[in-house]
Amino acid sequence: MRLRLTPRDTAFYDMFGVSAANIVDAAEVLERIVTPGADRRSLNARMREIEHANDENTHDVMRRLNSTFVTPFDREDIYDLASRLDDVVDFLEAAADLIVLYELDEVPATTREVVGLLVAAARVTADAMPRLQRTKDLAPYWIEVNRLENEADQLYRRTLASLFNGGYDALTALKLKDLADQVEAAADALEDVADTVETIVVKES
């Protein structure tokens, strides 16, 4: 293991933890939005608040990165992790916005299942962030996120098959495909976060 000469400043780790907590909040809000009978407009307003707060946190990371001479690990990796955490919230917010803008009365069951997987992956991510400073015991995290993303992929393909098998009119099918694409992008983005964490751990071990 390489000798660490970096200061024990926890600020970056704390901010990554804030972003991960925002992802959990956003995923749970989206899970409520896709539930039949939900007050989608008020929930979407809450989603926007989460997205704005997360943007501010991401900007704080970048400002600190630009003003810090010695960072706890590679500057490029700090930038990548902050950006990818932010991407997840952006995709979740976009999915919620589409549901409201398209006035979707009902979301396919398979898309709702993917949202449930997003909630699980978000919680695993938030649980992993405090361990990043020690770069220990993180392999189960990225393995589990990868498993959840693979399951989301399978559900995404099932969603597309159901949308274009004649059960929906063309316009509704296209709207629901847009939604499914955003939800799948969020799953991919969570896997990108896990991959970045794995890269950091390999470099720092």
Q: Are 86 and 141 in contact (CB under 8 A)?
A: no
- Residue 2 confidence (pLDDT): 43
Best CATH choice for the domain 11-204 from the list 1.10.230.10, 1.10.3720.10, 3.40.50.1000, 1.20.58.220: 1.20.58.220
- Residue 167 confidence (pLDDT): 84
Q: Are 78 and 65 in contact (CB under 8 A)?
A: yes
Delimit the domains of the chain by residue range: 11-204
- Residue 166 confidence (pLDDT): 78
Q: Are 156 and 135 in contact (CB under 8 A)?
A: no
Q: Which residues contact 72 (CB under 8 A, 6 or more apart)?
A: 6, 7, 9, 12, 13, 78, 133
- Residue 205 confidence (pLDDT): 79
- Residue 40 confidence (pLDDT): 95
Question: Over the chain (205 residues), what is each successive 10-residue block's mean pLDDT?
Answer: 52 96 98 95 97 98 90 91 98 98 94 98 97 92 98 98 90 97 98 97 89
The two tokens of residue 45 are 């307003």
Round to whole Å and give the CA distance between 145 and 195.
Answer: 9
